[in-house]
């Protein structure tokens, strides 16, 4: 099999949540334990950090990996979904798993796993753990796929567990209240292992405290640590943080939500140091300043073009858009002062709260509604119709590329184009050849 044939096999033979949604979800850890036993329990051969939460998992996971790399460790990183290439999910010191390994894994082991009928994520997790063990990583940062309690990454016993925040997402599987969702996320808390909570509210804090007490797990609320004393944006769009323990840090990631993520990350770093990791202030500063270069992170308020200014972001639910819309509104104020226009290329998938997101979106923008190239994508005409009821005006396009090209053609150099609403919209954009054709 070629690499492309192997990827096609994985996408078609194992149900992929990224493409089909709920039909790919498999509750329970039976398949995970069967795969883990077959491969000789590879996750037991390296240390881990476990990251759960509704939003911010990717940014926190990548930044922690970068900090650990800066400290001189060989670091595995397992995240999802991928944007352009499947291999983005499995990295060692920022380098994606090679194509030959993916092919060999499938060819050599399909006779075992095919009768199990594993989900795509179950199979991918097994591949990642096996790869990390064979690469002899010192530590792997492992991002939860969905939920926590029944997620197939939850066979690990990490050095630190992290739960970034809780908001409404995947309610069909995790519950329709913040309390229920928090209960699923809290399932990653392990006996005696410190847990860091990035953000907690009245409904979720008791859930975390009760679970931590039951597991004798020291619990740390990042917001109470007040590690970040002050922050401000610099001229390059990065964020300068003044911290209590790590001095002045410059974060490469420039989204408004990153100040919350930074508090979570620094709290986790403190716990890792207590667990024996040698992490200096310089390691922290390097990881924050070069996270994209060191880990390959994409799609977090990522600037793609300067004239016009084009940014994409993978935020895809109400919790994420609370932050994105704040940033868009501030951008709109700046544009008004210079006579520029805010243009938004927007699409969503059918299992998200589109009404909740649309109710937040700024009306003072020109919209280009689009449809990502996955089965879960909402039809572009439907998005336009729903958006109009919230006073959002624009045209609709059958693909992300067509919508983005229209926005580029309409834009002047002083305009600002935001592309998002779904990870899959960003993925389609990054896979196109149109990213910055006007530069």
- Predicted confidence at residue 132, as pLDDT, reads 98
- Predicted confidence at residue 297, as pLDDT, reads 96
* Adjacent-strand bridge partners of 98: none
User: What tokens were used for 301?
Assistant: 């308020």
- Predicted confidence at residue 52, as pLDDT, reads 96
- Burial classification of residue 237, based on how many CB atoms lie within 10 Å of its CB (0-12 exposed, 13-18 middle, 19 or more buried): middle
> Residue 262 in contact with residue 228, Cβ under 8 Å?
yes
- Predicted confidence at residue 54, as pLDDT, reads 87
Sheet strand arrangement including 239-243: 228-233, 239-243, 248-251
Strand blocks (E) in 332-439: 342-346, 366-369, 394-396, 416-420
- Predicted confidence at residue 12, as pLDDT, reads 84
- Predicted confidence at residue 24, as pLDDT, reads 42
pLDDT in tens, the chain (439 residues): 999 999 999 988 875 434 444 444 456 799 999 999 999 999 999 999 999 998 899 999 999 999 999 999 999 999 999 999 999 999 999 999 999 999 999 999 999 999 988 989 999 999 999 999 999 999 999 999 988 899 999 999 999 999 999 876 544 446 568 898 899 999 999 999 999 999 988 989 999 999 999 999 999 999 999 999 999 988 888 999 999 999 999 999 998 889 899 999 999 999 999 999 999 999 999 999 999 999 999 999 999 998 899 999 998 788 889 889 999 999 999 898 899 999 999 999 988 889 999 999 999 999 999 999 988 899 999 999 999 999 999 999 999 999 999 999 999 999 999 999 999 999 999 998 776 654 4
Choose among 122, 154, 124: nearest CA to 52: 154
Q: Which domains does the chain have, with CATH numbers?
A: 3-295 (3.40.1190.10), 302-431 (3.90.190.20)
Provide the CB-side half-sphere exposure for 423 (13 A, CA): 16
Task: Tell me which residue has tokens 């002062």.
Answer: 337
- Burial classification of residue 29, based on how many CB atoms lie within 10 Å of its CB (0-12 exposed, 13-18 middle, 19 or more buried): middle
Question: Long-range pairs for 174-177 at CB < 8 Å and ≥24 separation?
Answer: 174/146, 174/147, 177/203
- Predicted confidence at residue 262, as pLDDT, reads 97
């Amino acid at each position: 099999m070629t690499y492309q044939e192997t990827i096609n096999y994985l996408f078609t033979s194992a149900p992929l949540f990224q493409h089909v949604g709920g039909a790919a979800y498999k509750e329970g850890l039976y398949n995970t334990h069967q795969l883990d036993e077959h491969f000789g329990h590879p996750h037991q051969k390296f240390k881990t950090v476990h990251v759960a939460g509704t939003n911010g998992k990717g940014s926190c996971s990548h930044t922690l990996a970068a900090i650990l790399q800066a400290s001189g460790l060989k670091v595995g990183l397992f995240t999802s979904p991928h944007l352009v290439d499947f291999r983005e999910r499995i990295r060692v010191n920022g380098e994606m798993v090679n194509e030959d390994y993916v092919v060999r894994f499938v060819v050599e082991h399909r006779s075992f796993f095919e009768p199990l009928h594993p989900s795509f994520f179950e199979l991918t997790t097994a591949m990642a753990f096996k790869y990390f063990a064979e690469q002899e990583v010192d530590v792997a940062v492992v991002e939860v796929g969905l939920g926590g309690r029944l997620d197939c990454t939850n066979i690990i016993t990490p050095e630190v567990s992290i739960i970034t925040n809780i908001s409404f997402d995947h309610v069909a599987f995790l519950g329709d209240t913040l309390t229920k969702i928090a209960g699923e996320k809290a399932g990653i808390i392990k006996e005696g292992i410190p847990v860091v909570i990035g953000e907690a509210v009245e409904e979720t804090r008791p859930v975390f405290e009760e679970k931590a007490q039951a597991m004798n797990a020291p619990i740390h609320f990042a917001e109470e640590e007040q590690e970040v004393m002050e922050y401000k944006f610099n001229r390059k769009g990065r964020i300068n943080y003044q911290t209590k323990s790590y001095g002045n840090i410059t974060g490469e990631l420039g989204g408004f939500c990153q100040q919350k993520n930074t508090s979570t990350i620094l709290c986790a770093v403190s716990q890792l140091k207590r667990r024996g990791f040698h992490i200096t202030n310089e390691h922290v500063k390097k990881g924050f300043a070069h996270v994209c270069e060191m880990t390959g992170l994409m799609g977090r308020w990522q600037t793609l073009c300067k004239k016009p200014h084009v940014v994409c972001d993978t935020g895809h639910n109400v919790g994420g858009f609370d932050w994105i819309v704040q940033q868009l509104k501030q951008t709109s104020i700046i544009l008004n002062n210079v006579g520029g226009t805010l243009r938004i290329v927007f699409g969503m998938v059918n299992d998200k709260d589109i009404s909740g997101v649309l109710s937040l979106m700024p009306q003072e923008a020109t919209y280009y509604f689009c449809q990502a190239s996955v089965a879960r994508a909402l039809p572009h005409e439907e998005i336009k119709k729903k958006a109009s009821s919230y006073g959002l005006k624009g045209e609709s396009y059958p693909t992300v590329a067509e919508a983005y090209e229209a926005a580029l053609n309409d834009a002047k150099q002083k305009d600002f184009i935001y592309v998002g609403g779904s990870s899959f919209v960003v993925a389609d954009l990054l896979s196109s050849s149109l990213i910055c054709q006007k530069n």
